[in-house]
């Protein structure tokens, strides 16, 4: 997932000089002197962020005032470029703040988040709704064809104008005031949702009193559960922390059905227990406010507003795409459910298949059908080996970049690793931070974002981080991960490459500042290299013997790549349709009861949601209520289509080669938002997106017929999404 920071909407106004009102002792008062201007986390205290951000807001408003009060006629440089240069203090403080509040938060940081949320909304409105600034921007936009701008300048001008219009620049003063009030409420509720969910996820972890209840887990996993209990002061017990999805990893292995049910229910009900962490009223109110905002801005629904500047353009296009997937998936889900029910009966079980049973029996069937035991894989998947000889090596083979570990850079937590990235010619490219292990004070899921944005105008190179929530091994145990974790590492590093290869002058169009239904394309595409035959021979190596994973085991993984696709893809598609249902509510629909609304919306998908529950319930759907993916969760499957098309192109042109990688870098990864998405993709692929390779990748045809999985020398990656 590409993380959408709290100040994402300010991305087109990031950069300026140090604030005069901020004490020199504050680490953000001046640009960092560390390499790449990386944040000095060793000197930053929790109490430094809020004053620096507030000073940054004041400073940027002063800079904008100088732009609009300029008596000289508007030019691109004194208006658009000046706005692009503004807000440097705000940017460096807020990007670091986003990193720590997402990955290593505490009470002080959460209090600052709550206090700053409405101020960010007010600050954004003060700029986007400034009539004098809009007048200057509009005067340039109206003359754009005669200004002799570079293609990137023309794009920045066009997007600036369009963004200001979308933000409400054409509204009356009365409507602008109403919009600002809605924006303040939305920003406050989004932070409240995020904080409630973090607390609910921690509190919802399953506490186990009897070790026998954990039968099926490995000794290492049981030891990790004991460590998690000790960290909470629960000596002599075991804790299975929740990940921020409906499915929990341990459901695959736990043999005790009662424990599986308890773990599933702990996740399913985590934020709907009627306590202080219940999110239902928060999301119901958010849905109403978003619909009201859309109406104020002239759109029928929030989804119409959101998709108007996305690749899909309209909710109708996105829904039709999902329906094309849904028909074959529903057939596959019922077929898979029948297989698992038959397996239960064959083993003497008399109970009906339930969601907490699915992954357990699917894993049994996987072992029987493909002779593939996931526990067989882990000894060959040591996380540092995967990172260096898998993720990094693929990037070197494709793009010529190399990586060097740095231990001199301050980080926000001791778990964080830092690497410097270099071009093939030795020129420095950027800096990468990796924070992989789960913590109770870390948001769920996995994501990428920037600590420093790339911009030739500002003279800055990218500083990027990847965050995940893998289970940390107990002390003295090897850092072994699942193959799903491997795929997540490749996914998030695909986002990182999109940011590292940014090559723009202006920060507002740099790197991953693209539409939701395009930003996941590079990450989904990068997943495909996890199963590349040659690459696996380097990274999939037994942690004790040093021997590569046997080819027989590799082939089993590939043959099983489309197994359980009804579950894997269906749960994500259900979540995407649930998201769209919430955000196609009309402003007249009023406040919904989340439980009743969710039940009705899921029933209308046509998918088997009784057996295959949505990947996220409304109550813990972080993506759409706090992370900028509202009416955009379909993007994961949409961009999986784009990614599979790209992988199909690579397969037809020789696979993982330096030449192919350079072409993809030049035509996609380095472009940022300097071009429109459809022509950019068409130029690379040779035609418009094609759903055929995507369905084939799932092992399906358009009419839902199964097709045999292919074990080829190039990768057809796991269909399991990692959003």
The residues annotated as belonging to the active site are: 492
User: What distance in Å separates the CA atoms of residue 710 and residue 560, rounded to the nearest whole number?
Assistant: 9
**How far are the Cα atoms of 129, 223, 225 from residue 473, in angstroms, in the given order?**
50, 8, 9
User: What distance in Å separates the CA atoms of residue 630 and residue 649, rounded to the nearest whole number?
Assistant: 31
Show the tokens assigned to 707: 């097709």
User: What distance in Å separates the CA atoms of residue 154 and residue 158, rounded to the nearest whole number?
Assistant: 6
Closest to 127 (Cα-Cα) out of 508, 630, 631, 514: 508
Q: Are 301 and 291 in contact (CB under 8 A)?
A: yes
CA–CA–CA angle 519, 279, 5 (5° rounding): 30
Closest to 622 (Cα-Cα) out of 271, 360, 155: 271
Show the tokens assigned to 526: 């990068």
Q: DSSP string spanning 42-75?
A: TT--HHHHHHHHHHHHHHHHHHHHHHHT--SPP-
Task: Name the 3-class secondary structure at 337.
Answer: helix
Please list, in sequence order, all residues whose beta carbon lies within 8 angstroms of the beta carbon of residue 637, skipping any fewer than 6 positions away: 321, 322, 325, 569, 572, 573, 576, 721
Count the Cβ atoms, other than its own, within 10 Å of residue 103: 24
Q: Are 658 and 400 in contact (CB under 8 A)?
A: yes
Residue 210 backbone dihedrals phi, psi, to 5 degrees: -120, 120
User: What distance in Å separates the CA atoms of residue 267 and residue 197, rounded to the nearest whole number?
Assistant: 11
Show the tokens assigned to 612: 């295959």
The DSSP output letter for 455 is B
Would you give the distance in Å from CA 55 to the centre of its chain? 29
CA–CA–CA angle 78, 84, 86 (5° rounding): 90
User: What distance in Å separates the CA atoms of residue 704 and residue 721, rounded to the nearest whole number?
Assistant: 20
Q: Are 620 and 270 in contact (CB under 8 A)?
A: yes
Closest to 681 (Cα-Cα) out of 495, 526, 522, 516: 522
Q: Are 452 and 461 in contact (CB under 8 A)?
A: yes
């Amino acid at each position: 997932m590409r993380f959408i920071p709290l100040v994402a909407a300010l991305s087109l106004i990031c950069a300026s000089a140090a604030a005069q009102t901020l004490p020199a002792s504050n680490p953000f008062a001046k640009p960092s002197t560390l390499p790449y201007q990386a944040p000095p986390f060793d000197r930053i205290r929790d109490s430094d962020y809020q004053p620096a951000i507030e000073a940054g807001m004041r400073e940027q408003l002063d800079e904008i005032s100088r732009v609009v009060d300029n008596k000289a006629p508007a030019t691109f440089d004194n208006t658009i470029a000046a706005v692009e240069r503004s807000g440097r203090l705000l940017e460096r403080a807020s990007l670091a703040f986003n990193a720590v509040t997402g990955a290593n938060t505490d009470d002080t940081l959460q209090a600052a988040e709550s206090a700053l949320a409405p101020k960010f909304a007010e600050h954004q409105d003060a700029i986007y709704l400034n009539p004098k600034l809009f007048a200057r921007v509009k005067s340039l936009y109206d003359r754009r064809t005669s200004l002799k701008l570079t293609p990137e300048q023309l794009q920045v001008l066009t997007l600036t104008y369009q963004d200001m219009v979308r933000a409400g620049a054409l509204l009356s003063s009365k409507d602008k005031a109403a919009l600002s009030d809605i924006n303040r409420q939305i920003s406050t509720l989004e932070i409240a949702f995020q904080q409630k969910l973090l607390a609910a996820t921690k509190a919802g972890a399953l506490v186990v009193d009897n070790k026998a209840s954990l039968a099926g887990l490995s000794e290492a996993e049981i030891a990790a559960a004991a460590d998690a209990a000790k960290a909470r002061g629960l000596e002599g017990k075991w804790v299975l922390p929740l990940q921020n999805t409906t499915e929990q990893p341990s459901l695959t292995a736990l043999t005790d059905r009662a424990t599986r049910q308890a773990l599933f229910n702990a996740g399913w009900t985590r934020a709907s227990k009627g306590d202080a962490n219940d999110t239902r009223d928060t999301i119901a109110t958010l849905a109403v406010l978003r619909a009201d905002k859309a109406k104020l801005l002239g759109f029928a629904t929030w989804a119409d507003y959101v998709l108007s500047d996305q690749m899909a353009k309209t909710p109708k296009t996105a829904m039709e795409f999902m329906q094309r997937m849904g028909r074959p998936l529903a057939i596959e889900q019922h077929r898979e459910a029948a297989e698992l029910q038959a397996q239960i009966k064959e083993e003497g079980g008399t109970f009906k298949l339930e969601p907490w049973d699915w992954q357990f029996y699917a894993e049994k069937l996987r072992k029987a059908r493909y002779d593939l035991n996931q526990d067989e894989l882990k000894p060959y998947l040591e996380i540092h080996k995967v990172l260096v000889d898998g993720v990094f090596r693929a990037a070197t083979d494709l793009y010529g970049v190399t990586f060097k570990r740095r231990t001199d850079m301050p980080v926000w937590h001791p778990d964080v690793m830092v690497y410097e990235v270099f071009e093939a010619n030795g020129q420095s490219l950027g800096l990468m931070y990796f924070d992989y292990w789960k913590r109770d004070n870390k948001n769920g899921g996995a994501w990428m974002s920037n600590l420093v944005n790339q911009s030739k105008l500002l003279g800055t190179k990218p500083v990027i981080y990847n965050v995940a929530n893998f289970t940390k091994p107990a002390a003295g145990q090897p850092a072994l991960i699942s193959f799903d974790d491997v795929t997540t590492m490749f996914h998030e590093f695909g986002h990182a490459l999109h940011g590292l290869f940014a090559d723009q002058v202006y920060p507002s169009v740099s790197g991953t500042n693209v539409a939701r239904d395009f930003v996941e394309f590079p990450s989904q595409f990068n997943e495909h290299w996890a199963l590349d035959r040659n690459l696996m021979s380097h990274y999939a190596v037994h942690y004790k013997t040093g021997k590569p994973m046997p080819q027989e085991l590799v082939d089993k993984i590939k043959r099983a790549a489309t197994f359980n696709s009804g579950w894997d893809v269906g749960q994500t598609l259900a979540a995407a349709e649930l998201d769209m249902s919430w955000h196609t509510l009309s402003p007249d629909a009023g406040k919904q009861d989340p439980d009743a609304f969710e039940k009705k919306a899921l029933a209308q998908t046509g998918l088997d949601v009784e057996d295959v529950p949505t990947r996220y319930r409304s109550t813990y759907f972080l993506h759409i209520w706090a992370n900028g993916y509202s009416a955009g969760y379909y993007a994961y499957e949409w961009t999986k289509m784009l990614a599979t098309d790209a992988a199909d192109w690579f397969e037809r042109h020789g696979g993982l080669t330096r030449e192919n990688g350079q072409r993809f870098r030049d035509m996609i990864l380095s472009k940022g938002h300097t071009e429109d998405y459809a022509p950019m993709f068409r130029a690379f692929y040779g035609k418009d997106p094609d759903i055929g390779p995507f369905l084939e990748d799932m092992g399906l045809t358009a009419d839902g017929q199964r097709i045999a999985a292919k074990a080829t020398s190039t990768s057809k990656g796991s269909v399991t999404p990692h959003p």
